[in-house]
Amino acid sequence: LKHLQFLAISCLVLAAETNEDEVIPSVQMLAVQSRCKHSPAEILRMERIILDKLQWDLYTETPMDFLNIFHAMVMSSWPHLPPRLPQRNPSLHVALLTKQLQHWMACHQLVQFKGSTLVLVIITLELERQTPGWFAVITDLLKKAQVGS
């Protein structure tokens, strides 16, 4: 517990560096603003230790990544679907699915399932509810996603 703040600030520095769209504050500024008792050099050393433990692989697929990929696969393979969807717009539809995914991810009973599985279930349920020919669409998506029955 005594190193938790140190670890947290080091992870924050890593997260800030991997998000290339944002302006990254200096390590010294982050250390001062977080009231971390460690020097910027120590924070950078801890950053290196974390990177080594993660084998320098900071990217992990998120359920949101799967939602965007699977939704795009469905929309590109089945271009006639958007008029049948309630929003009639793929962007609005994926926004609705995103809200559902966020709700599901907050449910502790569903944490045991992989994000890709949850996304496939959400898309399946939504298409079943909205689209008469939903089974062919999902079967096609499952083949492309290389998921067996």
- pLDDT at residue 18, rounded to an integer: 73
User: Residues in the chain, how many?
Assistant: 149
81-to-30, 65, 94, 97 alpha-carbon distances in Å: 48, 21, 13, 15
pLDDT along the chain (149 residues), means of 10: 79 75 75 80 87 80 89 82 62 86 87 86 87 83 78
Residues 50 and 110 in one domain: no
Helix (H, G, I), strand (E, B) or coil at 45: helix
Residues 70 and 139 in one domain: yes
Nearest to 94, CA basis, from 113, 114, 77, 74: 74
Number of domains, the chain? 2
- pLDDT at residue 86, rounded to an integer: 54
- pLDDT at residue 111, rounded to an integer: 80
* Residue 83 CB burial class (10 angstroms; 0-12, 13-18, ≥19): exposed
Residues 46 and 74 in one domain: no
Residues 85 and 131 in one domain: yes
Residues 10 and 67 in one domain: no
pTM: 0.60
Range of the domain at 29: 3-54
Helix (H, G, I), strand (E, B) or coil at 74: helix
